Chain A
Amino acid sequence: LSTWSQRLDNPVSDRLRDPASTGYVAILLGAFAAVLAIPPIEARSPTWPIAVGIVAIALGIWTATRGRRRLGWGAVAAGLVGIGLGILATKSGTGNLDTVFNTTLIAQTFGFATPLVFGAIAGMFSERSGVVNIGLEGMMLMGAFWGVYGADKGGSWVVGLLVGMAAGGLLALVYAYFAIHLRADQIVGGTAVNFLAYGITGYFFQQFFSGQVTGQVSTVPNLHIAGLGKFLEGSIGDLSWLTWASFALVIVSYIVLFKTPIGLRIRACGEHPRAADTVGINVYAIRYGCVVLSGLLVAIGGVYLSLGPQGNGTFINNMTNGRGFIALAAMIFGNWRPGGAFAAAILFGFSSALALKLQVYSNQASTLFAILPYVLTLVAVAGVIGRTVAPAADGKPYAKQ
């Protein structure tokens, strides 16, 4: 074992870890996705070209967020073209592809990506300030349940949104107290937050709703845009308000984090809290603020799940079902940057949308696309194909001297 592990620390493996080589691999994969569908391999179903294409896109995002932008986005394009050609090539054989690949697929991709975008950006704020947030899943679950509760009791989805955000923020505040003030292990604390949210939402769901939401509660409306032409109208003409809000959040969070003094302070706390403290930044205040903000934001993702077009005003136990962790993965994949996290969230959303669509045809293909985000993240954190650079002080409690 030891010799094998040592063998990974040589120049060849260093070159393998260089983002540039990842980019080239991604472009090759994109080409491979197209080749899969034509002779001699001639895959019957579009599953495999798409799977390979998604891996290519993922690697492209990876490369682009790690310094080799042109190469990375080139790889993303190669992956997209590969998927397109792969589908075209199999189209003649299959015939019912139109029912899978249509504008609703694009709309659903954005739909599935919405909670992931909120979660990824939320996690980014927390981790950029130096607090690891494994508890995203639980905070999202809180948002989902208390959102329904608020909408039901308050009679309006706006109340639901506010109550859901408050619940997520409150749980984040508890976590912040343990992680920052008591300097508890952040991974253990985050795990505890997930367990707590699972229990609390399950308990009160039973107490208040007897395990089922009866009657229609107010849901988040969609934004209807007319007159865009058939394609655009089908894909973005009927998205939830919260989906548009998630797009806006990506831009705003980029500006806040990288173009304002407060963003500089947040990043300083995540990279070198001692130095930040020395120049007069209140590390504790910044970290508290960021963790609570992350709870508020990820709870919006939860509210979207229950009150958005997919949940349509219902809640079920453990509704988030790992989406908080996929959001965490999207953040890691996007290298703790808003643009990268957004791209990864969209990709994972696409994978989920495909999983749903393909369920009709093949259980196997559906499972494959459900697993894909987790496999990609596993490969990503392994760092064999590039470097993941977390904020330097991420996860380290800070003790003032």
Chain B
Amino acid sequence: MTEPKKDLVESPEQAASTGTLAARLSLSQRAGGVAVPVATVLLAFIIGGLVVLATGHNPLLAYHDIFNGAGLNWIFHPSTSTQTIAGYNLSQTLLQSATLILTGLAVAFAFRCGMFNIGGQGQYFVGLIVANWLGVSFAGMSPLPHILIAIIGATLAGAAWAGIAGVLKATTGAHEVISTIMLNYIALYMATWLFGDSGPLQNSTQPTVPVSNPIAGSAQLPVIWGTIGFQGLDIGFLIAIAALIVFWALINRTTLGYEVRAVGFNPDAAAYGGINVKKNLIRAMAISGAFAGLAGAVDMLGYLYQYGSLDVAVSQVGFIGIAVALLGRNTALGVLLGSLIFGGLIYGTTQGLSSNVIEPELATNLTYIIQGLVVLFIGADILILYVWNSRKRLRRKSPPQAPAKAAVY
């Protein structure tokens, strides 16, 4: 998959020794640098802006309103109160970011083991379902054990759901992309049925409304910024930050992380080095699912409290996690930054948006266009590197035409 790219970019060692900007770029690109993600985001926003422009809206004003909708204008007049619009919007952006950090980590961890977990959405649903079930049950328990039971249950459920794909991959070689896509839809229909008409988790008071029961007060996460009745920022955000640190430590500071990365770099070499590849595939997939399941728990216990069949149909956070992870180069810090961008986009284009340039129904889809473009360009970082390389070649007097051509074709 990555093999042929070597013809284009010189080897990192070679590149670093030449010391040009492009060479450093190619090295930092392999090491998880920032140039490609930044260029990607800019390009995606520019193309998204062109779409806005082509449909007769002013893109600069639209982005300005989305920026304010995300509450990012808070930095110009900071205040700890969520009574101000900017403060409230920012708290909502962080609320979205918390989910995206976790769904992003779910994709990133599998990537580090050389697998593409498209199933974050399904694992998130499984987490939501279990968190709702456990949160509704055991009403009257004291808060701490109740919250812990619900969170651990949802996390394990997400791990088990993703683990199916991991086991299938390890034992039968089934491609994790196909199996996680299928598991997504199975989870989606399961959630639709469970919360739907006469489903087992449907609310007990209104039999015609396909919505679950609200979780018990004892299972609700405490709010750290804002008011609990108004979707204040809950400790789920801190849990997500903690998950980032756990991710970083797991990947970089433990034997498990070393094995996972080794399998991701080269399974054959890892196996030769005595690492059990199959075990690591299953383990990496399960840990991935645990992050997504935790995302479901944090959302359910943090601010959703109940969930309906109609919410299931429109939820996209698991998929946006793919863009977050790819943009963040599958590192902890990158995922954090990526989740802030997309968290801002999600809230800034929906409830937060108050604009006479672009209406929320339109702007929401702008988020998805930008998301698609980001994934498209990140997948083809070779494009950005190529542009960079050809610029370098133009500056030289004798451009090495032949290898350049071979590189493109």
Contact = CB atoms under 8 A, between A and B. Distances in A.
B253 interface: no
A188 interface: yes
Interface string A8-27: 10000000000000000000
A281 interface: no
A328 B175 CA distance: 13
Interface stretch (A255-263, A303-311, A371-379): A371-379
Interface stretch (A47-55, A156-164, A201-209): A201-209
Interface stretch (B143-151, B186-194, B389-397): B186-194
A347 to B, nearest CB: 15
Nearest to B194: A367
B392 to A, nearest CB: 18
Size bracket of the B interface: 35 or more
Contact of B380 (A189, A198, A284): A189
Task: Among B7, B168, B178, find the residue whose CB has the most chain A CB atoms closer than 10 A.
Answer: B178
Interface in B68-102: none
A195 interface: yes
A316 to B, nearest CB: 10
Contacts of A35: none
A381 B364 contact: no
B1 A195 contact: no
B368 A198 contact: yes
Interface stretch (B213-221, B235-243, B276-284): B276-284
A199 B365 contact: yes
Contact of A178 (B192, B371, B379): B379
Given A182-B380, A184-B382, A195-B319, A400 B366 contact: no
A264 interface: no
Contacts of A211: 361
Interface string B172-212: 11110111011101101110110011110000000000000
Interface string B365-381: 11111111111101110
B179 A378 contact: yes
**Interface majority SS on A: helix, strand, loop or mixed?**
helix
Contacts of A383: 172-174
Nearest to B202: A363
Contact of A375 (B186, B282, B383): B186
Nearest to B373: A196
Contacts of A5: 170-171, 278-279
Contacts of B62: none
B369 A196 contact: yes
B406 A401 contact: yes
Contacts of A397: 1, 4
B183 to A, nearest CB: 7
Interface in B105-131: 116, 118
B278 A188 contact: no
Size bracket of the A interface: 35 or more
Contact of A322 (B116, B185, B190, B199): B185
A32 B179 CA distance: 28
Contacts of A384: 172
A374 B291 CA distance: 24
A325 B365 contact: no
B1 A381 contact: no
Interface in B1-22: 1, 4-5, 7
Contacts of A2: 276, 278-279
Nearest to A384: B172
B362 interface: yes
Contacts of B378: 188
A191 interface: yes
A332 B182 CA distance: 13
Query: Which 7 A-B pairs give the minimum distances between C-beta atoms?
Result: A199-B368, A196-B372, A195-B372, A199-B369, A188-B379, A202-B365, A184-B380
Given A5-B279, A192-B375, 20 more contacts: A134-B181, A174-B376, A185-B1, A194-B372, A195-B319, A196-B368, A196-B369, A199-B365, A199-B367, A199-B371, A200-B51, A207-B55, A207-B362, A325-B185, A329-B178, A329-B182, A371-B185, A381-B168, A397-B1, A401-B406
29 contacts: A1-B279, A4-B171, A178-B383, A181-B409, A182-B386, A191-B118, A191-B322, A192-B372, A195-B319, A195-B323, A196-B373, A199-B368, A199-B369, A203-B362, A203-B366, A284-B409, A318-B314, A363-B196, A363-B199, A371-B190, A374-B185, A378-B168, A381-B174, A382-B174, A383-B172, A383-B173, A399-B4, A400-B409, A401-B406
Interface of A: 1-2, 4-5, 8, 134, 174, 178, 181-185, 187-189, 191-200, 202-204, 206-207, 211, 284, 318, 322, 325, 328-329, 332, 363-364, 367, 370-371, 374-375, 377-378, 381-384, 395-401
